[in-house]
Every structure is written in C-alpha cells, then in structure tokens.
C-alpha cells in the first residue's frame, strides 16, 4: 500500500514574519488524516512574546491583543507540536507540510530559543518523513504558468480550501493536495517514503539552482536560496 492510502499527519503554522529563523509561532496545527479514519485536529495559539506585525495579522487574523489574552507559553507550544511530529515519524507516518522547510525551520528555532532539543535530536533514529506539495509540484509541473501558493495548488488539483491562512485549514488542504499529487504522479511518488525524502531534497536543489540566477538578475542581485531541505541550514553553519 502506498503512503497516500494510509494515515498521514498534516502540519502548518502561522507566524510573526517571513524569515523562519526569526519568526515566532502564533498558531499551529497538527491533523491526523487519511486511511478512511475520522480527521483528528489539534491546534495551538501562542503568545509569541514579541509584537505581531500588522502585515502578519492581515494574513492570519491574530492580533497582539488576542495572542496576549489567550495565547499559551510559546515554549510549551513548541514542545507539544514537536512531540506530535516526532511521534508521527517514530510511527513511520509522513508529515505533510506545504513549504515544509519554512514551518519546520520556524519550529526548530523556537525549540532552540527556549532551550529545548531540536527536531533532529528528538527524533533519534526515526527518519524525518516529509511530503511537501510545493516541492513536488515545482518538480513535476515545473512549466505550468502562474503562482504555486497553496490556494493555487488547491485550484489545480481540485481541493476545496476554506479559511485560507488558518493553520488547520491550510494543513488539511495540503494533505488533500498531497493525496491528489500521488494519484496524478504514481510512478514518481508512490514509492518508499525514505526514498521519496531523497528525491524531494534533490528536486528542491534543482529548483533552487534554476531559480536563484533568475532572482539575481530580475529582483535581488544578492539573492540566495538555501539548498537545505526539509530543514534550512542553521545560520551559524552557513
């Protein structure tokens, strides 16, 4: 049985910014989906401890007032989210995350920020099994015109998305897109999950090596796309 026919864990975050090494968790979702079972969703609201910029609030709708009034300790949120993901990997389940290197890197930095072991240390020998619809779609439908946001992929792969930019809606939609991708590209995707990790990492590097020169020529002469996936390279290691 292929991974897309079994249980999956969907993961998404909403944060204070776009730099995953600096952004703080605001909301997170881990949802257990698939295999004909009822979907089980767990969500968190954190008080990030820093102001939520207006542009971030405009995306996810969480204000400073809400986060301060109702948000949990970010150290506790990070620990609980990490425990859910690690439990999935130890059970051999894939974690589906759209643009996984962003969300996982945010979580990794939150864990270290609060003096906790990172995902690599916590998972031990269990492989970090990730399904990233963004990486996959970039590789397998590279020349399709238009953007490749989650909402765009939902439209392409006929997945209904409501309440976009809430962590639970985005997480579940990403899992549904992953399921449809596996159906659309069985030869490429219906394979051993560990093998698929290596393949996605290679696809990410290939995309970065093609897109980075375009960025430097057309947008930012100093642009650099991190080749590491699914966790971005720690700043100190660059």
| CB distance 91 to 7 below 8 Å | no
Give 170-202 pLDDT, tens digit per residue.
Answer: 999 999 999 999 999 999 999 999 999 999 999
Residue 237 has pLDDT above 50, yes or no: no
Helix (H, G, I), strand (E, B) or coil at 10: strand
Taking residues 103-119, what's their average pLDDT? 96
Give 115-142 pLDDT, tens digit per residue.
Answer: 999 999 999 999 999 999 999 999 999 9
Which letter does DSSP use for residue 114 in this model? Answer: T
User: pTM of the prediction?
Assistant: 0.94
Residue 109 has pLDDT above 70, yes or no: yes
Query: Which comes out higher in pLDDT, residue 54 or 208?
Result: 208
Residue 167 has pLDDT above 90, yes or no: no
Residue 151 has pLDDT above 90, yes or no: yes
| CB distance 148 to 156 below 8 Å | no
Tally of CA atoms within 13 A in the half-sphere of 125 that contains its CB? 0
Give 25-38 pLDDT, tens digit per residue.
Answer: 999 999 999 988 88
Q: What is the pLDDT of residue 166?
A: 82
Delimit the domains of the chain by residue range.
Answer: 3-192
Angle of CA points 139, 141, 143, to nearest 5° = 105
| CB distance 14 to 60 below 8 Å | yes
CB atoms within 10 A of CB 7: 17
Give 14-27 pLDDT, tens digit per residue.
Answer: 999 999 999 999 99
Which letter does DSSP use for residue 237 in this model? Answer: G
DSSP string of 13-72? EEES-S-TTT--EEEEEEEEE-TTPPPEEEEEEB--SSPPPHHHHHHH---HHHHHHHPB
Q: Which CATH number fits domain 3-192: 3.40.50.1440, 3.30.420.10, 3.40.50.280, 1.10.3720.10?
A: 3.30.420.10
Helix (H, G, I), strand (E, B) or coil at 106: helix
- Give the whole-angstrom CA distance, residue 100 versus residue 97: 5
Residue 238 has pLDDT above 90, yes or no: no
Pairing of strands 25-33, 40-45: antiparallel
Residue 235 has pLDDT above 80, yes or no: no
Q: What is the pLDDT of residue 152?
A: 96
Q: What is the pLDDT of residue 161?
A: 87
């Amino acid at each position: 049985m292929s991974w897309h026919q079994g249980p999956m864990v969907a993961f998404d975050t909403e944060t204070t910014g776009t730099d995953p090494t600096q952004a703080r968790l605001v909301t997170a979702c881990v949802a257990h989906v698939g295999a004909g079972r009822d979907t089980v969703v767990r969500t968190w609201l954190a008080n990030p401890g820093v102001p939520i910029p207006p542009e971030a609030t405009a995306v996810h709708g969480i204000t400073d007032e809400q986060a301060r009034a109702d948000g949990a300790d970010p150290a506790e949120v990070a620990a609980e989210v990490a425990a859910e993901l690690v439990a999935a990997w130890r059970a051999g389940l894939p974690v589906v995350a759209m643009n996984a290197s962003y969300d996982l890197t945010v979580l990794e930095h939150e864990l270290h920020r609060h003096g906790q072991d990172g995902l690599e240390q916590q998972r031990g020998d269990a492989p970090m099994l990730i399904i990233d619809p963004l990486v996959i779609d970039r590789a397998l439908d590279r020349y399709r015109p238009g953007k490749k946001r989650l909402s765009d992929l939902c439209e392409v792969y006929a997945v209904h998305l409501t309440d976009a930019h809430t962590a639970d809606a985005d997480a579940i939609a990403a899992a549904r897109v992953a399921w449809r991708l596996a159906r659309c590209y069985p030869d490429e995707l219906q394979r051993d999950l560990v093998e698929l990790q290596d393949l996605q990492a290679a696809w990410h590097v290939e995309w970065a090596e093609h897109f980075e020169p375009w960025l430097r020529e057309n947008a930012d002469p100093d642009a650099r796309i991190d080749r590491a996936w699914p966790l971005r390279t720690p700043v100190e290691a660059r």
